[in-house]
Amino acid sequence: MKIPTLVFNLLFVYQVLNAQPCAQTNVTIKTQADLQAFVSNSGGCTDITGDLFITYEVQHLDGLEKIEKIHGSLTISNTTQLESIRGLSGLKEVIGYIRIQNNPKLLSLQGLDNLGKVRGDFFYFSNNKHIKNLMPLSKLDSIHGIFQLYELDSLESLTGLENLEFIGNDFAIFKNDKLLTLSGIQSLNTVAQSMRIYENPALTTLMHLSTNLAIGNLLVINDNPMLSTCNAAPICNLLQTKPDNCIVSNNAIACSSKDEILQLCISNLNETTPKTVVIYPNPTASKIWIYGLEEKTEIKIYSSLGVHIKTVYSNEDIDMSTLKNGTYFFQIANQHYPIIKL
């Protein structure tokens, strides 16, 4: 009995030593002197229990490598000299939001290489004119709030987001002058609320969206003058099931209206996939009816957070009355359909 007790005690001590909260709750770094003072007084702590705010004349973040978790929010904003954030290389999780904006000398996001989850209201990334790619975000798998990418003048694709599967609110991509494609987000399978793509002057195609992507409530595709290919599977699905929730205008020919996109969706329809499935009524307070399935089919029901609720077999109707109010996603074959329970 003594050995297991000893092992338990050693594990407990190890966990305590490796999750040490910083004495300073909120950390503000404006200069290298501020950074050095925090590093000198931190005692090698790993968790900032409040916010980390980086701004003004700080030049680098070397010395913060032991920080693994920020329980508040991370803001890197309005710096004048900051070229590198490599000092954040130990950061794995941010409980609050992330805001990285208006850093004219920041060259890359290297330093966020181990970031896996952002649980806060948004990840807000804008006006960093030298950022060419999002490669350092390769471990990021979920953002539980809003994700906005805009005014990134050098960004050409979304390469680096290949691990991202879930966005819990709005996903907005706008005013990125050199963005050509959405390549990099092929693994994204859930945008729980809205997806907005607008004012990207070089964007040409949306075909890099996953066929499994479910968009919850709203789709906006506006003012992308070179965008001519919009008939990706998730776009077609939402236009067919919730056309009133889709806004399309001022893009190139073949993508300038909902009708133009739908014509291409229909002409390219693959008879082996359930794109002709219609689920009605949506929203619903009780039963829904399924049209387009010739025989009983496996239907997996997921919550808005991607949690599997149950699996049913039907080709006619499903009783939703026992489920709580909210947004659900029905997976039929390799397609996802958002359903709102009232």
Render pLDDT for 292-317 as a digit per residue (tens, 0 to 9).
777 888 898 888 777 888 999 888 88
Average pLDDT over residues 67-73: 96
Average pLDDT over residues 309-338: 84
Question: Which residues have a Cβ under 8 Å from the Cβ of 197 and sit 6 or more positions away?
Answer: 172, 173, 174, 203, 206, 220, 221, 222, 224
* CA distance linking residue 71 with residue 54, whole number of Å: 16
- 193-207, 247-261, 312-326: lowest mean pLDDT where? 312-326
Q: Which DSSP category does 237 fall into?
A: H
Q: Which amino acid is at 256?
A: S
Average pLDDT, the chain: 88
Q: Which residue has the higher pLDDT, 289 or 26?
A: 26
All CATH 2.60.40.10 domain ranges of the chain, comma separated, are 278-341
Average pLDDT over residues 78-106: 96
pLDDT tens by residue, 96-132: 999 999 999 999 999 999 999 898 888 999 999 999 8
Going by pLDDT thresholds of 50, 70 and 90, the confidence category of residue 326 is confident
Is the pLDDT assigned to residue 56 strictly greater than 60? yes
- pLDDT for position 5: 53
Is the pLDDT assigned to residue 213 strictly greater than 50? yes
Is the pLDDT assigned to residue 10 strictly greater than 70? no
Is the pLDDT assigned to residue 187 strictly greater than 80? yes
- Cβ-contact 128, 105 below 8 angstroms: no
- pLDDT for position 6: 55
Is the pLDDT assigned to residue 274 strictly greater than 50? no
- pLDDT for position 190: 93
Give just the sign of the alpha carbon dihedral 178, 265, 237, 300: negative
CA distances from 196 to 26, 118, 183, 322 (A): 33, 20, 16, 33
Going by pLDDT thresholds of 50, 70 and 90, the confidence category of residue 211 is confident
All CATH 3.80.10 domain ranges of the chain, comma separated, are 20-267
- Nearest Cα residue to 230 out of 238, 244, 144: 238
* CA distance linking residue 257 with residue 315, whole number of Å: 32
Average pLDDT over residues 43-53: 95
Phi-psi region of 263 (alpha: psi -120 to 50; beta: other; left: phi over 0): alpha
pLDDT tens by residue, 131-152: 988 999 999 999 999 999 999 9
Tokens of 273: 């996939």
- Cβ-contact 315, 324 below 8 angstroms: no
- pLDDT for position 18: 63
Is the pLDDT assigned to residue 318 strictly greater than 50? yes
Q: Supply the pTM of this predicted model.
A: 0.73
CATH of domain 20-267: 3.80.10
Is the pLDDT assigned to residue 13 strictly greater than 90? no
Helix (H), strand (E) at residue 36: helix 32-42
Going by pLDDT thresholds of 50, 70 and 90, the confidence category of residue 276 is low
Q: For residues 183, 141, 29 and 49, what is the CA-based torsion angle, rounded to 10 degrees?
A: 170
Q: What CATH architecture is 278-341?
A: Sandwich (2.60)
